[in-house]
Amino acid sequence: MADTWLQTCPAQHFCFSHPADWQPKQLRMVDSTAGIMQGENVQLSYDYGIYSDNFSALPDAKRQALVIDGFDAELITSPGQLALYIGKVEHIEVMNADMALSMMLTFSGEVDHKLAKQVFNSVRITRPAG
């Protein structure tokens, strides 16, 4: 794992830090901001939108409540995966819907809890002006 970390801010909705050697792969989505970062033995996927995955379909998942950047969140642990879900980042009045953020780290080897904690705790939500 790289010692140098970078900050990424997808579509200016949120920012997070990650090892500098992770390679971004932008996804084209109609109703959300989504992407993938590929590292050695790990892949990070993220989705910011109304229909972001809450990981309810993960087998044998364990959920733990936490707070990330002042938002109620969940850390979801499943075999080979660690995920973060923030269910209400912003309310879109005209759609009567909540924007959510989901992030998942999928490991091809041993799960690195320290890495996941560092990535997830670095999340900062860009709050709308006003």
Would you say residue 28 has pLDDT above 80? Answer: no
Q: ∠ at Cα 75 (74, 79), nearest 5°?
A: 140
For residue 85, being part of any structural domain is answered with yes
For residue 31, being part of any structural domain is answered with no
Higher pLDDT, 31 or 123: 123
User: What pLDDT shows up at residue 2?
Assistant: 54
How many distinct structural domains can be found in the chain?
Answer: 1
For residue 6, being part of any structural domain is answered with no
For residue 105, being part of any structural domain is answered with yes
For residue 9, being part of any structural domain is answered with no
For residue 36, being part of any structural domain is answered with no
For residue 74, being part of any structural domain is answered with yes
Range of the domain at 109: 42-130
| Pick from 37, 35, 31: nearest CA to 6 | 37
For residue 30, being part of any structural domain is answered with no
Q: How far apart are CA 9 and CA 85, in angstroms?
A: 17
Higher pLDDT, 37 or 89: 37
Residue 73 identity: A
